[in-house]
């Protein structure tokens, strides 16, 4: 009765409004590994898996009663002899035959879709396992590592204060080195934790304020001045008048500036120069930090903002190899969270200029909360 449909490259089945199968083509019988006598007269839903049977009863039949056709549904079937479920893409239509409502279904087997679904499930499980491992690692770093390292620093302070008696100059030097090493290790751990929180979007709300560029730079220079002087680097500040304002979270801004100035000092040789300048352009305020260091190759100008990427330092300078390469990645992410950006231009052998761009305060005195993204 089905004629050309009997050997069509897709399954075809007709069932009545009570669900009993009235006709089926050979293609579908072969998919189900069933004989015609085993299928004709049986309920269509008896060949569906449990999940598809529920869908058939709660969604498919009600939809077919409301509209004449339903297209591109995913269902799974199980034949009498087939060992595995059959993934199908199905189209259904309703018609009347001798005053009896009939439903026709065209069924296309989806072999690749099932394979990719299995792959997605496996990938999801692997990602969940990785997330659990990552959370466990970060928890361990946050507590199990930071706590004893902090204790080491505290004991170093007590020894330096003479709590256990006077120390010789050599002993004092050793304790100070221990203290410095513990502080360095703690800073690395804090960088990893900070980057992990930023990557996961777990940064607390930003305290956005109107700040004077002169004020924030003065505070940062107080912290960086001794390091610049110790390394024999000239430091200059230009064109940063008190009238230059910007909108930022003061703590996050100082963190970015400290990262940039620390990098500038790290990669600028003794006798070199670091220059900080400011300018206001339209709705933005720019802080430029220029150095006379070795510069950055053009192919690495964007990569240096990726996590765990560092530019090789000068041979024999161990300071340039310190860290995990997270400072610039964290700084750019923080800048963007504050509606700004961090960019760089560089010439190898001449130096680099990092530009921190942030919003200027509204000229009309409007509320800072009106700027997008200030909710962190």
Give the whole-angstrom CA distance, residue 228 versus residue 274: 9
Which three-class secondary structure state does DSSP give residue 290? strand
128-132, 252-256, 304-308, 369-373: range with highest mean pLDDT: 252-256
Answer yes or no: is pLDDT of 303 > 50: yes
Looking at the DSSP bridge assignments, the partners of residue 343 are: 355
pLDDT tens for each residue of 28-62: 999 998 899 999 999 999 999 999 999 999 999 99
Q: Whole-angstrom distance between the N-terminal and C-terminal Cα of the chain?
A: 67
Instruction: Check: CB of residue 247 under 8 Å from CB of residue 210.
Output: yes
Model pTM above 0.85:
no
Give the whole-angstrom CA distance, residue 22 versus residue 28: 13
* DSSP E strand stretches across 245-347: 245-248, 273-281, 284-291, 341-347
> Could you say which DSSP state residue 238 is in?
E
What are the distances in angstroms from CA 161 to CA 165, 167, 169, 180?
Answer: 9, 10, 13, 16
Give the whole-angstrom CA distance, residue 322 versus residue 306: 16
Burial of 360 (0-12, 13-18, 19+ CB in 10 A): middle
Checking DSSP bridges between strand 273-281 and strand 234-238, what pairing results, if any?
Answer: parallel
Instruction: Check: CB of residue 293 under 8 Å from CB of residue 264.
Output: yes
pLDDT tens for each residue of 225-271: 888 998 999 999 987 877 899 999 998 899 899 989 999 998 899 99
- Tokens representing 316? 């024999």
> Could you say which DSSP state residue 229 is in?
H
Give the whole-angstrom CA distance, residue 124 versus residue 133: 14
């Amino acid at each position: 009765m089905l004629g050309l449909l009997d050997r069509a490259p897709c399954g075809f089945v007709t069932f009545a409004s009570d669900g009993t199968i009235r006709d089926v083509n050979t293609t579908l019988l072969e998919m189900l590994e069933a004989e015609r006598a085993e299928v004709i007269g049986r309920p269509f839903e008896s060949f569906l898996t449990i999940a598809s049977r529920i869908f058939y009863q709660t969604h498919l039949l009600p939809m077919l009663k409301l509209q004449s056709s339903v297209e591109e549904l995913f269902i799974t079937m199980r034949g009498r002899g087939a060992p595995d479920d059959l993934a199908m893409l199905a189209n259904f239509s309703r018609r009347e035959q001798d005053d009896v409502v009939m439903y026709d279904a065209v069924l296309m087997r989806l072999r690749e879709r099932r394979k990719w679904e299995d792959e997605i499930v496996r990938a999801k499980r692997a990602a969940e396992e990785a997330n659990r491992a990552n959370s466990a690692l970060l928890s361990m770093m946050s507590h199990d590592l930071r706590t004893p390292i902090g204790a080491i620093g505290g004991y170093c302070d007590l020894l330096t204060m003479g709590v256990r008696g006077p120390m010789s100059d050599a002993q004092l030097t050793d304790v100070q080195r221990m203290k410095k090493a513990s502080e360095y290790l703690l800073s690395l751990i804090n960088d990893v934790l900070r980057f992990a929180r930023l990557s996961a979007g777990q940064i607390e709300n930003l305290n956005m304020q109107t700040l004077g560029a002169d004020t924030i730079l003065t505070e940062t220079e107080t912290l960086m001045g001794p390091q610049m002087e110790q390394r024999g680097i000239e430091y200059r500040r230009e064109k940063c008048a008190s009238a230059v304002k910007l909108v930022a979270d003061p703590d996050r801004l100082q963190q970015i500036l400290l990262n940039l100035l620390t990098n500038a000092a790290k990669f600028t040789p003794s006798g070199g120069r670091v220059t900080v300048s400011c300018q206001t352009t339209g709705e933005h305020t720019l802080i430029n930090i220029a150095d006379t260091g070795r510069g950055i190759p053009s192919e690495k100008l964007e990569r240096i903002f990726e996590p765990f990427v560092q530019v090789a330092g000068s041979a024999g300078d161990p300071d340039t190899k310190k860290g995990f390469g997270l400072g610039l990645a964290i700084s750019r992410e923080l800048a963007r969270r504050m509606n700004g950006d961090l960019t760089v231009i560089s010439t190898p052998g001449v130096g680099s200029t990092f530009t921190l761009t942030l919003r200027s305060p509204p000229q009309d005195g409007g509320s800072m909360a009106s700027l997008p993204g200030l909710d962190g």
